[in-house]
Structure 1
Amino acid sequence: MPSLPQIRLHSEYAQVAADSHDALVVVCTAFDAAALQSASAACWAAATAPYREVDREFGSSVVLVPAPAVGGGRLVLSPTGSLDDDTDDVRKVFDAVKRGVARAIEAGAQRPAVLLAPRLPAAGTVPDADYSRWVEVALLAALDASYVTLVVREHRQATAGANAVVEKLVSVDLVVDGAADTAELHGVAKRVAAIEAGRRLALDMGYGDPERMTPYNCAKTIEAAVAAVPGISYEEIKDLEVLKREYPLLYNSARASFSEERTWPCVVKLEYRSPEPAKVKEHLYLVGKGVTYDTGGISLKTGGAMRGMSRDKLGACGVAGFVLATGLVQEPGVNISCILALERNSIGPNSLLPDEVVLSRAGVRVLINDTDAEGRLVMTDPVAECRERILAARAAGTTTPAVICTVATLTGHVIRAYGLYGATVANGPARGAQYDKRLAVAGLAYGDPFENSVMRREDHQFVRGQTDREDVYQANSLPSTLTDRGHQYPAAFIIKAAGLDKNSAGAGAGQAIPFVHVDIAGSAEDAHAPGLGLSGITGSPVATFAGAFWTV
């Protein structure tokens, strides 16, 4: 794992040592008369005067000007634009900080100071915006601009030696103009450092191509990342006979990859235990889809649709990143049990075939209709295992609330429905406990908004077996984008095939188990691909889960 730039937080620019930074990035709502009259502007307002006199658009977009009075002589102005209009939210702060820091890096800066002085709207002014975590979001944006992918770091070290420069930034000084609570700023730095470390684990794995990040290599990467983190234990299952017995749907989905050991599937289990057991408020059971390459199997992807399928592991990447972040911050309020299902959905003589009926771990007969709908298959048996563990813990007297979450780049339908936003699909107990709304609220605060979808009776009817030969249909034979409710009904399949249908709201308080399916197919990658290259990766939902489940 790469080390983060050193993070220093301040309440005014005067606290930043002149020789500690080599650029000043100023983030304001707008660079107008009000901004130029602020106390913090005294050191740089004069430098901008000649530009403002000749360019009425000066300061409306990111710009760099020479300014001898600031560190490094580099002054970068990056406006957020309005923050109080109907559709504004904290992402405008993120975008402005990232653009500004990226411009400073382009100019040669390695130690920027970022002065935050936007005019935030009063709480509740914009119904669909939450600026309560705006400082965390700003710092995450600065760190996001500094990240260098694992494959680039390895290339630089391979070509320039072990001492090659692999990071863009050495340090970041974040100045929150007028901040009164220094202790809270230190708390921000602690949270953000942990979130960013988790996000970088997710990005390191996610950017890796299908040969660099085979299932086994993903496991090695995770193991190395969590090895020295207090409270986290690591286990991996590689034995094919064990996988066949414990995770039959994963095993059969991966059959065509058995021809070479380097592409074999595996299961990674991570356990995090709070350092203060008395403060534990809930137990999270997390399941991540880790399909390191998805050819579609025998239901082969065509028409160029295989492009980018090395990204079908981003659910597992995000879950692993969140567990790492939780361990680093030593969050006292949760315990976590995590299962990552890692496979390559290959094609070959031993491929799983449509028309097969496979018995799930829960003893449910699954009729395979489309081997390209492998994500729900690989996650279902881990969900069944989580269900078993929750019921066993309750039988032993545990009263700690528990929830199961699946995280996956599961469907193209969620992108058709919501664009570049993730979606939650929750069962009755989870909706009753508002787990889906918690994720939506946290995502809004951390700049990773989620939509809450509702599971309806049609979703369960769609997958319910209609003959005596099967209990549940895995999918239909059409792409999710051409299927009504194409991102909702897979949650119903997981519930039925994992045995969770016996733990619905109607089962009563002692038996009901909250379950939330989180589809990040839209939010895990950014909007634009550079040329013919693959698009960037966001690290979703690491920060959202931190906001939803951490108490620190």
Structure 2
Amino acid sequence: MAALPQIRLHSAYSELTTSSHDALVVVCTALDAPTLQSASAACWAGAIAPYREVDREFGTSVVLVPAASVGGGRLVLSPTGTLDDDTDDVRKISGEHTPAASGAGAFKSGVARAIEAGAQRPAVLLALRLPAAGAVPDADYSRWVEVALLAALDASYVTLVVREHRMATAGAGAVVEKLASIGLVVEGAADAAELSNAAKRAAAIEAGRRLALDMGYGDPERMTPYSCAQTIEAAVAAVPGVSYEEIKDLEVIRKEYPLLYNSARASFSEPTTRPCVVKLEYRSPEPAKVKEHLHLVGKGVTYDTGGISLKTGGSMRGMSRDKLGACGAAGFVLATGLIQEPGLNISCILALERNSIGPNSLLPDEVVLSRAGVRVLISDTDAEGRLVMTDPVSECRERILAARAAGDKTPAVICTVATLTGHVIRAYGPYGATVANGPARGAKYDRRLAASGLAYGDPFENSIMRREDHQFVQAKTDREDVYQSNSLPSTLTDRGHQYPAAFIIKASGLDKHSLSAGAQLAIPFVHVDIAGSAEDAHVPGLGLCAITGSPVATFAGAFWTA
């Protein structure tokens, strides 16, 4: 990965010199009297006066004006607008995960404008009037400094495929990062240590997101299952506390992950497209401080043709992005290792495959035995995501039970992360969803994720699993134990993003670990569907959508204690 821009923190505008930055971005709630009367505005308020006199709309959108008194002579004004209205939230500051129709947030837009003007070392002055905590019921500005930095870092990011192209055409001198540094001015910051900690968290999260984006933007030939594994291995190689393991042996995969094996059968003829399983372990540097153990499973379908249940009508477009669950999971492990989070251990399993078509394709009507010994009736090979994650979930279940039997009382939870269904997009648009079992609902894991997503500008909806979801997949004959799906697209199926969680629970054996199993056997499980949140839903011409890096920041907010 390319190195991040240097982050420079300042508690006063007076700490800046014209040589320390080549653009000043002023992020303000509005260009009004309080903003202009601040001490920092004294040197540039005069530069904007002529524009304000002739344009009554001046200052309501991002604008660049020449100002000799600031570094580089570039002054960018980027207003957020209101922050205390009914539907306002931190995305109006950051621009992170902002639906295209609603406009980008002030921080990302302002920094992007400075970059367009030629700046490489912008300073950003935050002149905001934040609402009091709790003033807006569905907003949380407690992480606003972090999300602002993340927005600037995102504006600076250059994708792996572009970096590689530049290196190939321009050599070692190629520009592989848009910014050299970012200066952040938070006037009146009372706690320098807290500000520094926010910058460290943002840098770690961004490194994790960049791993997710590097993999996610790679096309299906650049990022085959094996290529994804190599990218992850290189990223975590020198990170303290993180270990890496990969499984490529098809016979081992057949025995340990039979649903993944059968889903990937048509890919075996070409070595580069064969499946593999990546295991990442993170262990806290301070074992006595560990408060919980996260078992994380990511869906890594590097290309989803639909298999023998072929996608038609152009629906195969963009299916190189069906690996974003695994990308986000790997990114979160990397970020956790970089921050050296003391309160968390992670065991992560990434199921990587290409859902190919061929003479040996998995077929509807087959009955396949899962790792947990559950007979699965295949109905639609295009519902492969739940198949590839189920056996890893079963392995996590086994490991949790073994740890408890050995006397380990550390609370444990299993989370699956996947771009799983189109239904979640039909239900919630550009937002992700959590679907939790009873133990996870009781421990409020789904609400923790939703609260964190709100604070980091990556909102999640909490969906509730109902009895209908379990009844939908429950076998009605003695020939199988569970139905994988129906034969319709999820978008045409009632509760199309909820019932797959019920399938995973049944096929992995987690149905024996519900609330009624008792405290010793109950295992919290949360399925996280990021099909809506992993991309920004804006298509530039005929190109593919941008990738958001969801849910790396959301998981950081939910599981980090530092």
**With structure 2 as the length reference, what TM-score do the two structures score?**
0.98
Letter in 2 for 1:318: G
The corresponding residue for 2:73 is: 73
Counterpart pick for 2:525 among 515, 530, 544: 515
CA RMSD of aligned residues (A): 0.5
Letter in 2 for 1:415: I
Whole-Å Cα distance in 2 between the matches of residues 306 and 419 of structure 1? 20
User: In the alignment, is the contact (CA less than 8 A) between 2:18 and 2:69 conserved in 1?
Assistant: no
User: In the alignment, is the contact (CA less than 8 A) between 2:157 and 2:177 conserved in 1?
Assistant: yes
The corresponding residue for 2:467 is: 457
The corresponding residue for 2:98 is: none
The corresponding residue for 1:468 is: 478
1:62-211 equivalence runs, <5 A: 62-94=62-94, 95-211=105-221
Whole-Å Cα distance in 1 between the matches of residues 496 and 272 of structure 2? 33
Whole-Å Cα distance in 2 between the matches of residues 140 and 43 of structure 1? 28
2:199 counterpart of 1:221: no
Whole-Å Cα distance in 2 between the matches of residues 300 and 177 of structure 1? 57
Q: CA deviation at 1:318?
A: 0.1
Cα shift readout 1:253-272 (whole Å, capped 9, x = no counterpart) = 00000010000000000000
- Per the alignment, in what secondary structure is the counterpart of residue 173 of structure 2? coil
Whole-Å Cα distance in 1 between the matches of residues 73 and 508 of structure 2? 61
Letter in 1 for 2:540: P
Whole-Å Cα distance in 2 between the matches of residues 219 and 197 of structure 1? 17
The corresponding residue for 2:97 is: none
Q: CA deviation at 1:285?
A: 0.1
User: In the alignment, is the contact (CA less than 8 A) between 2:210 and 2:549 conserved in 1?
Assistant: yes
Whole-Å Cα distance in 2 between the matches of residues 176 and 465 of structure 1? 59
User: In the alignment, is the contact (CA less than 8 A) between 2:298 and 2:351 conserved in 1?
Assistant: yes
The corresponding residue for 1:40 is: 40
1:109-508 equivalence runs, <5 A: 109-508=119-518
Letter in 1 for 2:50: P
Q: CA deviation at 1:330?
A: 0.1
User: In the alignment, is the contact (CA less than 8 A) between 2:62 and 2:109 conserved in 1?
Assistant: yes
The corresponding residue for 2:49 is: 49
Whole-Å Cα distance in 2 between the matches of residues 372 and 32 of structure 1? 54
Whole-Å Cα distance in 2 between the matches of residues 385 and 178 of structure 1? 50
Whole-Å Cα distance in 2 between the matches of residues 21 and 336 of structure 1? 40
The corresponding residue for 2:24 is: 24
Whole-Å Cα distance in 1 between the matches of residues 208 and 127 of structure 2? 28
Q: CA deviation at 1:15?
A: 1.1
Q: CA deviation at 1:180?
A: 1.2
Whole-Å Cα distance in 2 between the matches of residues 163 and 151 of structure 1? 16
Cα shift readout 1:297-338 (whole Å, capped 9, x = no counterpart) = 000000000000000000000000000000000000000000
1:527-542 equivalence runs, <5 A: 527-542=537-552
2:556 counterpart of 1:543: no
Whole-Å Cα distance in 1 between the matches of residues 367 and 187 of structure 2? 62
Whole-Å Cα distance in 2 between the matches of residues 70 and 409 of structure 1? 45
- Per the alignment, in what secondary structure is the counterpart of residue 259 of structure 1? coil
Whole-Å Cα distance in 2 between the matches of residues 42 and 348 of structure 1? 69
Q: CA deviation at 1:13?
A: 1.2
Whole-Å Cα distance in 2 between the matches of residues 471 and 186 of structure 1? 54
Q: CA deviation at 1:239?
A: 0.1
Letter in 2 for 1:394: R
Q: CA deviation at 1:105?
A: 0.3
Whole-Å Cα distance in 1 between the matches of residues 151 and 302 of structure 2? 27
Q: CA deviation at 1:34?
A: 1.9
Cα shift readout 1:10-66 (whole Å, capped 9, x = no counterpart) = 111111232111000000011012211111211211110110111111000000000
Segments of 4+ moved more than 2 angstroms: none
Structure 2, unpaired ranges of 5+: 95-104
Whole-Å Cα distance in 2 between the matches of residues 170 and 545 of structure 1? 28
- Per the alignment, in what secondary structure is the counterpart of residue 288 of structure 2? helix
Whole-Å Cα distance in 1 between the matches of residues 151 and 44 of structure 2? 23
Cα shift readout 1:179-233 (whole Å, capped 9, x = no counterpart) = 1111111101110110000000000000000000000000000000000000000
- Per the alignment, in what secondary structure is the counterpart of residue 547 of structure 1? helix
- Per the alignment, in what secondary structure is the counterpart of residue 162 of structure 1? helix
